[in-house]
Amino acid sequence: MNRHLNHVDGGPSTFSGVVKSKVGDCWGLAEWAAKQLKANKYKVRIVQGVNSYVSNHRWVQVRLNGKWLNFESSLVTKKYGSKNYSKTCARLNKIVKTL
């Protein structure tokens, strides 16, 4: 992900937009990551939370060993390299969808 995609505020917010442009906002990158993980047989969900900048930041959680683990898809891009992707940029307040 960090070699091929980039995070851009205001970038595409859908899977198809990210595929076409190779950039996305947190919504698009979360959807892209969730679909890639699901295609590789992981149970995933897209979640949303609040931080000091926005009230609707999105990322992915992956079910491993009976626990939901955070995968901050926005941080695994060219812009950020591979920062600590298990830390999130927001406080969870809702599950958007489970795949």
The per-residue pLDDT for 76 is: 81
The answer to whether the pTM exceeds 0.95 is no
Q: What is the mean pLDDT of residues 40-67?
A: 94
Could you give the CA distance from residue 56 to residue 29 in angstroms, rounded to a whole number?
Answer: 14
91: left (phi over 0), alpha (psi -120 to 50) or beta: beta
Q: Which residues are 86's β-sheet partners? A: none
pLDDT per position as a tens digit, 21-42: 999 999 999 999 999 999 999 9
CB 74 within 8 A of CB 7: yes
**pLDDT at residue 17 tops 90:** yes
Q: What is the mean pLDDT of residues 12-19?
A: 95
8: left (phi over 0), alpha (psi -120 to 50) or beta: beta
**pLDDT at residue 72 tops 80:** yes
The per-residue pLDDT for 14 is: 95
pLDDT per position as a tens digit, 60-70: 999 999 999 99
